[in-house]
Structure 1
Amino acid sequence: MLFPTLSFGLFFLVVYCVTWSLGRSNEWRKIALLLASWFFYGAWDARFVALLFVSAFVNWALAQAIVRSDDDRTGRALVTVGVVANLGVLGYFKYAGFFLEQLSALLTPLGFARDLPLLQVVLPVGVSFFTFQAISYLVDVHRRRIPAANLLDLTLLMSFFPHLVAGPIVRGADLLPQFRRVPTIDRGVVAAALLLILWGLFKKAVIASQLAGALVDPAFFDPASRSSFDLLIGAYGYAVQIYCDFSAYSDMAIGLAALLGYTFPRNFDQPYRAASLQGFWRRWHISLSSWLRDYLYIPLGGSRKGPVRTYINLFLTMLLGGLWHGASWAFVIWGALHGGWLAIERFWARHRPAGLPTAPRWAGILLTFHIVVLGWIFFRAQGEGEAFAYLGQLFAGDWRNTLVTPLSLALVVLGLAIHAVPAGILQGLAVRVRHHAAPIIGLALGVLILIVDAMRPEGVAPFIYYQF
């Protein structure tokens, strides 16, 4: 089920009514949410509901063993087992076919490729998110940052449908304490949540979907047949599309969780306003970037072991972050580009000549944005070959317009202009809305939904991050 559909709306209405009708019966409420989450996930492929439960059970058992371990060495060993097990699940479903293809390419000249099996594995939606969530849970239990959860709470943490298939990566430290108490809700929370969901619906159904069909998909489908101008605006269009698409999912997930009485952390903070790539990653997919920092960059040594090691750690962290997104050399190049530029920024900050004037902030924003857009070309292309073909045609010098329409150009401008809107405007609107009568709020919400529905293209494409 996709969030911006009638079927999901009816599903959520039933879940909302059932859970709040249970009053202060917190355990039954969590059971109802768990069953609803499994139904939501099973609507895509019921076979993988068992994977969710088995993964939660194994991580619950390991956490219990970690708590009972007599010494830190045993605890570290158990964490290692858990990390390997979780990465094994992720590796099998996401990378087994890719690595067999690479091995086949290496062995073909030797005549051994014919003996390799052809492996096509169905990728469970959201497997990257709930495995990363499980890893952070085990590490935090071992570090004594959080107590071990009971089986129901941990299973719900990993299965909770608002964040299940595309994040945010909500850590146990953020959500498990909320599961231990009876949630509450008030008119202000409802107003803010509804506005956030409506805003996400607009970004996804209108901006992202319109740009995908009218500009981005045609540009990337056959870049050789497009002009340099088409591909330039197409690259800008994808930067807007992926931001509006992914931030829309996060906004809707945060709003849906709030309507059920739970708080998710913010996942986007106007990332294209960043004046450095480090600033970009503090604003983009915040739950992933902070996860990579806390569970990969810092354990690698962070910046504690000298400047050269810092540059290497930055590069490796982003390289692995690129590989996390998918089994493709294009994602590896994307991660290497970000990791390399982060290392360059750190080197420049350390060795910048004294007395050199500081560049204006707008110059930093422009440079960072175009580094990000360059990376998005590799992220969007079907492979590294297609990405280089796109870049080759982009710099071919043909500036005719054969694809860009006034509407698609306006949507690109609108998507970027969103970053100039004050960050707290939705909260301010929520404060004003909460004082109106419920029937008026409901009527206004219905009218706005109808307007968004009239503006969106026919059909609802899956969110981009469903594939990760």
Structure 2
Amino acid sequence: MLFPTLDFGLFFLAAFAIIWAVSGSNEWRKILLLLGSWVFYGAWDWRFVALLIASAFLNWGAARLIYAADTRGTQKTVVTLGVIANLGILGFFKYYDFFLEQLGVLLGSWGMARDLPLMQIVLPVGVSFFTFQGMSYLIDVYRGRVRAAGLLDITLLMSFFPHLVAGPIVRASDLLPQFEKTPRLNRDMIAMALLLIVWGLFKKAVVASELSVNLVDPVFFDPAAHSSLDLLLAAYGYAVQIYCDFSAYSDMAIGIAALFGYRFPRNFNQPYRAQSLQDFWRRWHISLSSWLRDYLYIGLGGNRGGLFGQCRNILITMLLGGFWHGAKWTFLIWGGLHGGVQVIETLWRKAGLPGLPKLLAILVTFHIVTLGWIFFRADTFDGAISFIGGMAGGDWRNTMTTPLLAGLMVLGMAFHFTPPGLAQGVALRLRLMPAWALGLLTAVAIIVIDAMRYEGVAPFIYYQF
């Protein structure tokens, strides 16, 4: 069930009406939210609702054992087994066939080819997000940052539909305390929520979808059939598309959660303003980058172990962060590029060398990120190399890029550079409107966006992760 569809609109209106009708009972409210979240997830494939429930039971039970354990050693054993179990779920569904295929290639190169039991496993939507959420919960219980919560709260934490399939990765410490109280909805929350939903809907349905269908997808599908100029514009177009697509989902998720009375953390902060790759990861997909920092980088030793240890931990973290996105070598290369540049930045800073001027630093960082997006978007390593090679020479005069597509790229970047305070200022004005007028304005905006958007709605990019 995709956010920008009629099916989801009807589902949301029904869920919203039912949830607020029972707002006097917090337990019933959470139960109904949980059932609604399972309906939302089951609309994609009912079989995997059982996996979602099993994952919640696993993390609830492991957290209870950690909390009840009388020695630190027992707690460490339980949290280790719990993390391994979560990784087992993620590894089986996401990486089983990949590793078996690589084993087959390796055996073939040694003259030992075998028929291996490939299973063509269906990847559950959002499995990377809810397994990471489960692991962070167990680790936080082990570290004493959160208490072991009840089964209903943990199951809802991992199943809550606004963030279920594409994040943000909302941590237990952020959401569990909110579940303990009966939420209240005020005009400020409603105004900002509706603004975020409409804002996100436009970025996804108009900007990201149009760029995807009419520029990025055809050029990446067959780079050799397009001019060097189109390849360059498609690379820039994808940088705009992925920002508008993913930030749109995050905006809509934050807005939808707010309409149910819950606050999600911000997930984007103008990432293309970054002056370094390290700065980029403080601004892009903040819930994932902070997760990698707190649970992987620090777990590996962080800045301890001297300069070599720090650089090693950065590189390992980014390689695994790349591989988290999918079972393809291109994701590993993408993560390695980001990790390698961050290592260079660290060495540069430690050597006391002067930094680049601000504008130049932003331009250099943006183009390194855009180069990385080519590997992220390409289906194969050879495809990415062919794409980059095609940009190096050839036809710089002919282009399939229309003025509309060029305008959407500019508009997408304009959205990106919009001052953060602008949305808050607009929301403050919206809250002064009568309820009927705000509702009418929202409905008109959605109708206009629906009339402007490309026919059909492609899944959000991060649904595949």
> What's the offset of the Cα at 1:318?
0.2
2:206: which partner in 1? 206
Distance 1:201 1:373 in 2: 24
Rounded to whole Å, the distance in 1 between the matches of 2:438 and 2:119 is 53
What TM-score, normalized to structure 1? 0.98
2:65 paired residue number:
65
Deviations 1:189-222 (A, max 9, x none): 1011000000000000000000001110111010
2:451 alignment partner, one of 447, 454, 463: 454
Cα deviation, residue 12, structure 1: 0.5
1:403 aligns with 2:389: no
In structure 2, the residue matched to 1:321 is 321
Partner in structure 1 of residue 464 of structure 2: 467
Distance 1:59 1:444 in 2: 43
Q: What secondary structure, in the 3-state scheme, does the structure 1 residue paired with 2:45 have?
A: helix
One-letter amino acid matched to 2:408: L
1:77 aligns with 2:77: yes
Amino acid at match of 2:304: R
What one-letter code is carried by the residue in structure 2 that aligns with 1:101?
Answer: E
The whole-number CA distance in structure 2 between the counterparts of 1:191 and 1:113 is 62
Q: 1:132 and 1:391 mapped to 2: Cα distance?
A: 33
Amino acid at match of 1:209: S
Partner of 1:9: 9
After superposition, where does 1:150-299 map in structure 2 within 5 Å? 150-299=150-299
Confirm whether residue 437 of structure 1 aligns to residue 430 of structure 2. no
Matches within 5 A, 1:7-86: 7-86=7-86
Counterparts of 1:342 and 1:361, CA distance in 2: 17
- 1:382 aligned to 2:375? no
Matches within 5 A, 1:328-347: 328-347=328-347
Deviation at 1:111, TM superposition (A): 4.3
Cα drift, residue 223 of structure 1 = 0.1
Aligned position for 2:360: 363
Q: Aligned equivalents of 2:122 and 2:23: distance in 1?
A: 40
Shift of 1:308: 1.0
The residue aligned with 1:106 is 106
1:413 deviates by 1.3
Q: TM-score, normalised by structure 2?
A: 0.99
- Residues 84-99 of structure 1 aligned to structure 2 (within 5 Å): 84-99=84-99
5+ residue gaps, structure 1 = none
- CA distance in structure 1 between the aligned counterparts of 2:372 and 2:221, rounded to whole angstroms: 17
Structure 2 counterpart of 1:305, one-letter code: G
**In the TM superposition, what is the alpha-carbon distance from 1:282 to its structure 2 partner?**
0.5
Runs of 4+ in 1 over 6 A off after TM superposition: none
Residue 420 of structure 2 is matched in structure 1 by 423
Q: What secondary structure is seen at the aligned counterpart in 1 of 2:300?
A: coil
Query: Percent identity at matched positions?
Result: 65
Task: List gaps (5 residues or longer) in structure 2.
Answer: none
C-alpha contact (below 8 Å) 2:107/2:114 kept by paired residues: no
Looking at structure 2, the residues matched to 109 and 165 of structure 1 have their Cα atoms a distance apart, in angstroms, of 38
Equivalent residue pairs, number: 465
Deviations 1:285-337 (A, max 9, x none): 00000000000001111112211111111000000000000000000000000
1:329-360 C-alpha deviation (Å, 9 max, x unpaired): 0000000000000111111011134xx5x422
Instruction: List per-residue Cα deviations over 1:88-113 (Å, max 9, x = no partner).
Output: 00000000000011000011134433
